[in-house]
């Protein structure tokens, strides 16, 4: 099996990577790892990275006209033969949004797992990640703490979420793609794990499933990578964001969040889900708002210049397209 995982950064990708690796090992599928055999490994031993496995993780960048493999922010090379690259790997990781080139790449993999997380928690996690040793080594931000970072880049991350998630939802239905929600994985790990195993078509015993669940707890993963795994919480935005920031999320990403049943206000309580019928019109409208918001001064948004998009509109039946729940 040749498997691709994708998700916006800080959406639970490292958690998913560990889950998938353990599942593939439990199913005794042959391990293939292109980057682990690459000569760059000698130099990579001396790099400041985010987690222990990073030098041996096959990361793919999907771009118009060409694809690249890389290790963090230190090393990047073009892929000359995509089929050959995939053949040398069991599990590949990408953060790339969906573009026309993605279709060719996705068709070349047996299975794709795409993880989604609440954009407000993604933004908070990105702010904290900016002050880890790895990020401080590779990128210098003019901020004294995570709060200042969040204030400066909150709109950017909300906009990025609408583009990344929206572009993948518009690519549905796709038979070889499974949509996984971070919050549901936190709420009912066993059920979500079973659905993932069924999608992958793996033979994993009850004992192996219990062992995997134990190995991917937040406590266990923090021992492996304290710099990459922090609290692993879901819904933490309620305790971190100001009322203005919460409202700003509704203004920019609220329509797409509502489409996926994410709570829009502090008092709301719901778990995200992939509806049987997705509104392509709402998705595209949310993506446009994200692009506009990124270019508009945050003060204008906060002052209410775009209040007309505060309340997401429900789509009519003829605007919806049926998607697979797999």
What are 87-139's pLDDT values in tens digits?
999 999 999 999 999 999 999 999 999 999 999 999 999 999 988 877 777 77
Q: Does pLDDT of 186 surpass 70?
A: yes
Structure token digits, residue 284: 């595209």
Number of domains in the chain: 1
Question: Span 163-189, mean pLDDT?
Answer: 97
| Cβ 234 vs Cβ 118: under 8 Å | yes
Q: Give residue 325's pLDDT.
A: 39
Q: Does pLDDT of 319 surpass 50?
A: no
SS3 91: strand
Q: Which domain holds residue 51?
A: 3-322
Q: Give residue 52's pLDDT.
A: 87
SS3 50: coil
Query: Residue 113 is part of a domain; what is its CATH number?
Result: 3.40.50.300
Q: Give residue 223's pLDDT.
A: 61
Share of the chain above pLDDT 90, in %: 74
* CA–CA separation, 1 and 20 (whole Å): 12
User: Other CB atoms closer than 10 Å to residue 129's CB: what's the count?
Assistant: 18
For 241-278, how does the pLDDT look when each residue is reduced to its tens digit (9 = 90+)?
999 999 999 999 999 999 999 999 999 999 999 999 99
Per the omega criterion (within 30 degrees of 0), is the bond before 304 cis?
no
What residues pair up with 6 in beta bridges, in sequence order? 94, 114
* CA–CA separation, 34 and 67 (whole Å): 15
Q: Which of 92-96, 153-157, 228-232, 234-238 has the highest mean pLDDT?
A: 92-96
| Cβ 188 vs Cβ 273: under 8 Å | no
Q: Does pLDDT of 302 surpass 70?
A: no
Per the omega criterion (within 30 degrees of 0), is the bond before 173 cis?
yes
pLDDT category at 51 given cuts 50, 70, 90 is confident
Q: Give residue 318's pLDDT.
A: 37
Q: Give residue 91's pLDDT.
A: 99
pTM: 0.88
* CA–CA separation, 86 and 64 (whole Å): 18
* CA–CA separation, 42 and 54 (whole Å): 14
Which residue matches tokens 């069991």? 90
Question: Span 38-59, mean pLDDT?
Answer: 93
């Amino acid at each position: 099996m040749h498997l691709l995982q994708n998700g916006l950064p800080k959406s639970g990708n490292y958690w998913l990577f560990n889950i998938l690796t353990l599942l593939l090992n439990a199913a005794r599928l042959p391990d293939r790892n292109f980057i682990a055999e690459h000569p760059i490994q000698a130099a990579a031993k001396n790099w400041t990275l985010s987690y222990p496995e990073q030098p041996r993780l096959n990361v793919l960048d999907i771009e118009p006209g060409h694809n690249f493999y890389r290790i963090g922010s230190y090393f990047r090379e073009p892929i000359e033969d995509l089929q050959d690259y995939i053949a040398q790997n069991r599990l590949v990781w990408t953060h790339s949004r969906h573009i026309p080139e993605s279709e060719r790449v996705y068709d070349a993999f047996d299975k794709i797992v795409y993880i989604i997380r609440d954009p407000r928690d993604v933004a908070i996690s990105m702010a904290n990640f900016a002050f880890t040793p790895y990020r401080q080594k590779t990128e210098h931000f003019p901020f004294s703490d995570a709060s200042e970072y969040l204030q400066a880049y909150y709109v950017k991350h909300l906009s990025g979420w609408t583009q990344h998630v929206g572009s993948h939802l518009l690519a549905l239905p796709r038979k070889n793609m499974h949509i996984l929600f971070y919050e549901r994985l936190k709420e009912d790990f066993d059920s979500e794990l079973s659905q993932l195993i069924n999608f992958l078509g793996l033979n994993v015993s009850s004992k192996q499933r219990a062992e995997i669940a134990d190995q991917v707890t937040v406590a266990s993963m923090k021992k492996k990578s304290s710099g990459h795994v922090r609290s692993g919480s879901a819904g933490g935005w309620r305790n971190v964001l100001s009322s203005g920031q919460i409202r700003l999320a509704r203004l920019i990403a609220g329509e797409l969040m509502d489409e996926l049943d994410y709570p829009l206000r502090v008092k709301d309580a719901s778990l995200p889900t992939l509806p049987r019928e997705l509104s392509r019109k709402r998705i595209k409208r949310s993506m446009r708002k994200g692009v506009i918001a990124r270019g508009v001064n945050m003060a204008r948004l906060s002052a209410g210049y775009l209040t007309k998009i505060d309340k997401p509109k429900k789509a009519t039946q003829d605007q919806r397209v049926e998607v697979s729940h797999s």
